[in-house]
Copies of this chain bind each other. A is one copy, B any other.
Amino acid sequence: MTYCCGILVRDGLVMIADTRTNAGLDNISTFRKLHIFERPGERVMMLATAGNLSVSQGAVNLLVEGLENPDTHEVETLMKAPGMLQAAQLVGRAVRRSHAIAGESGEAAGVSFDVSLLFGGQIAGGALRLFMIYTAGNFIECTQDTPYLQIGEHKYGKPILDRAVGYDTDVLDALKIGLISMDSTIRSNLSVGLPIDIALLRRDALRADISTRVDGGDAYFRDLRDSWSRALRAAHMAIPTPPYDGRAG
């Protein structure tokens, strides 16, 4: 399993991805699922993947090596895409192509080849955008109403996002809330695990401000986990005892 979330606020974009991959419970590994494509000053694009690893890695390879456009016969790569929308469409085509290759040979085995991806970033002259891309290559775009998207094991980490993130949230606060969301998921689902990759891109910076890996020994993340647990305990202890003594119903 996997958990990734992308948060798009006024000031910028945050992407967070865990690194645990498993083929059954007895085969657990660490794989990078957050990929950054960057030419500082011109473009920064971030791609987080969930689902079948061979399909998502295949798609990433196609995005780097290039994918022929069936109409123009031009070979397109992420680094050549003229805008984020065209780049998202290219990611969609790469996913479809990669899925078709795996699907042909393997669907009889009863394995799921589904993937989902978060793709966000900015190209000079265009807007900072965030998309969620499905196996069929179709996608949706993040809007101000709900300024985040999630893929993989999204449920445990959703309540804090629903409550704490708005479009006007500071981008560093968005990163902090994303880390809390990741912590909730890691705590409740064994198949989501440390280390986690994080990236932060400020609007119009055209250069990733943060791109790093956080592991179990990271002092800030350890403090965040402890503070959050303590705060939750304090929060529920501060709520008065239920007054119910009725026996109606």
Q: Residues of A at under 8 Å CB distance from B?
A: 32, 155-156, 158-160, 162-164, 172-173, 175-177, 179-180, 184, 187-188, 197-198, 200, 208-214, 220, 223-224, 227-229, 231-249
Task: State the oligomeric state as a number of copies.
Answer: 2
- How long is the Cα–Cα vector from A188 to B197 in the complex, in angstroms? 26
Most buried by B among A184, A227, A239, A240: A239
Given contacts A162-B188, A233-B163, contact A227 B239 (CB under 8 A): yes
Which residues of B have CB within 8 Å of A210? 242, 244-247
Give Cα A235 to B232, complex, Å.
7
Using Cβ atoms and an 8 Å threshold, which residues of chain B touch A184? Answer: 159
From known contacts A163-B233, A236-B160, infer whether A242 and B179 are also in contact, taking CB-CB under 8 Å.
Answer: yes
List residues of chain B with CB within 8 A of the CB of A200: 244
Q: Considering only CB atoms, which chain B residue lies closest to A197 in the complex?
A: B249
Which of B159, B213, B248 meets A212, CB within 8 Å? B248
CB distance from A190 to the nearest CB of B (A): 12
The interface residues of chain B lying within 8 Å CB-to-CB of A179 are 242
Instruction: Give the docked Cα–Cα distance between A162 and B241 (Å).
Output: 20
Note all chain B residues with C-beta closer than 8 A to A213: 248-249
A-B residue pairs, 10 tightest by C-beta:
A231-B235, A155-B155, A213-B249, A212-B246, A159-B184, A210-B244, A211-B247, A172-B241, A158-B188, A227-B239
Contact yes or no, B163 A229, CB < 8 A: yes
Residues on B with C-beta less than 8 A from A229 are 163
Q: Which of A155, A187, A209, A248 has the most CB of B within 10 A?
A: A155
Least distance between A186 CB and chain B CB atoms (Å): 10
CA distance A236 to B170 in the complex (A): 13
Complex CA–CA separation, A203 to B224 (angstroms): 37
Contact among B212, B223, B235 for A244, CB-based, below 8 A: B212
Contact A177 B231, beta carbon cutoff 8 Å: no
Contacts of A211 in B (CB 8 A): 246-249
Apart from A172-B241, A223-B240: 4 A-B pairs, beta carbons within 8 A:
A176-B239, A176-B242, A227-B235, A227-B238
**Alpha-carbon distance between A198 and B176 when the two chains are bound, in angstroms:** 35
Q: Given A158-B156, A162-B187: A173 and B241 within 8 A (CB)?
A: yes
